[in-house]
Amino acid sequence: MTEQGINVFFVRHGQTYFNLMGRFQGWSDIDLTEKGIADGKAAGIRLAGVHFKAAFSSDLPRAYNTARFVLNANQADSPALPTAEKDFREIFFGSAEGLTIQQIVAEYDHGFDKTMQAEAVGYGDTIAKFGFDGLMDLFKKNDPLHLAEDSAEFNQRLTHGLNMIRETFKAGDNVLVVTHGSLMRALANKFQSAELASHKLDNGAISKLIFEPKKDGRVTIAAWNDTEKIW
């Protein structure tokens, strides 16, 4: 695939209090910290010169508010406000929300083998151990209320959102999407490698993906987890 495609700039939301505490937040409504507000503003400054044909965010407040900070800094005649889109919200971790990975490993003993108690020092380690989709399926299996999204449920809505972009915009258009860390890991897993998906993304980091403008078209990762470049 050439560079002639839809340029989609994905931004991870700013730091939240659960990020600071190392807790899974999923669909939980957790406020941005002062650093999180600064993360959004810094991403906005680095994207200030990019004209966005459209701007989307997850419908969760931490992403929507980050998107507002990004667009407030824009100087290239972009939308004033983001469009909230449920397809781009974080994975739902169900009963695991609010827990640390160490608590999850200790409490969810069906499928998470005991060696993970020592090895799972972070989320990326569990992805490396089980694979991204496999880990999501374990969250679903171990949730006593069976609320967590499994890989099929999550990938269905993610694909729907990605195809909306592919079918709405044309080659050369720039599109902003402010979203979440696990959703970004899912993109890495889908379009590059499980190894890339095991690495943490920084709050406020910018990743550029180039989409072929047709349903289920190819995707190229042009930049990933960038915290320095002025675009």
Domain ranges of the chain: 6-93+149-226
- Say if residues 71 and 82 touch (Cβ distance below 8 Å): yes
Q: Which residue has the tokens 């902003």?
A: 176
Residue 90 is among the residues annotated as catalytic for this protein: yes
66, 74, 67, 71: which is closest to 48 by C-alpha? 74
Closest CA to 216 of 144, 146, 155, 166: 166
pLDDT tens for the 231 residues of the chain, in order: 346 899 999 999 999 999 999 999 999 999 999 999 999 999 999 999 999 999 999 999 999 999 999 999 999 999 999 999 999 999 999 999 999 887 887 777 655 555 555 555 567 877 887 888 988 998 898 898 999 999 999 999 999 999 999 999 999 999 999 999 999 999 999 999 888 998 999 999 999 999 999 999 999 999 999 999 999
User: Which of 3, 51, 90, 110 is the catalytic position?
Assistant: 90
Binding-site residue positions for substrate: 12-19, 62
pTM for the full model?
0.93
Which residues are 6's β-sheet partners? 211
* Single-letter code of the amino acid located at 132: F
Q: How far is CA 9 from the centre of its chain?
A: 12
Closest CA to 204 of 12, 73, 71: 12
Q: Is 13 noted as a catalytic residue in this protein?
A: yes
Q: Which two tokens stand for residue 112?
A: 């998470």
Sign of CA dihedral 212, 215, 221, 223: positive
DSSP string, 16-38: BHHHHHT---TT----B-HHHHH
Summarize the annotated binding site as residue ranges: 12-19, 62
Closest alpha carbon to 46 in 204, 211, 224, 215: 204
Q: Which of 79, 65, 76, 3 is nearest to 34 (CA)?
A: 65
- For the segment(s) 6-93+149-226, the CATH number from 3.40.50.800, 3.40.50.1240, 1.10.10.60, 3.30.460.10 is 3.40.50.1240
Identify the active-site residue in 13, 85, 97, 180.
13
Tell me the residue type at 55: A
- CA triple 189-174-198, angle to 5 deg: 15
